[in-house]
Structure 1
């Protein structure tokens, strides 16, 4: 049990941190048009509004 606590868990934490860092920094290599947030059209906005109304009408 002490091997898991001493070696395995810190290694897993390090791997999760490195994967998250690579995912966040991957935006550097994206084309400039893909770096912007996704556009929201009227249909998506209406669907989000309906969802919010339904969730608060309880």
Structure 2
């Protein structure tokens, strides 16, 4: 158990940190239009009757 606590657990923590750092840093290399957040102005909730039907169909 000491081997896991001394070697394996810290290695897993460092690997997760490194993966997160690479994922966040990858935005630097994206084209400028892909690095921006997705637009939300054209999002539609749909027809309210369809939503009511989906909720009450249980």
TM range, normalised to the smaller chain?
Answer: 0.7 to 0.9
The 1:4/1:42 distance shift into structure 2, 3 A limit, reads closer
Q: In angstroms, what is the RMSD of aligned CA positions? A: 1.7
The total of aligned residue pairs comes to 47
Quick check: 1:9 aligned with 2:5?
no
Which runs of 5 or more residues in structure 1 are unaligned?
48-58
The structure with more radius of gyration:
2
Q: How does the TM-score come out when normalised to structure 2?
A: 0.72
Q: Looking at secondary structure, tell me which structure has more helix per residue.
A: 1
Q: How does the TM-score come out when normalised to structure 1?
A: 0.72
User: What are the superposed Cα offsets for residues 1-58 of structure 1, whole Å, 9 maximum, x if unpaired?
Assistant: 0000000000000000000000000000000100111011141xx47xxxxxxxxxxx
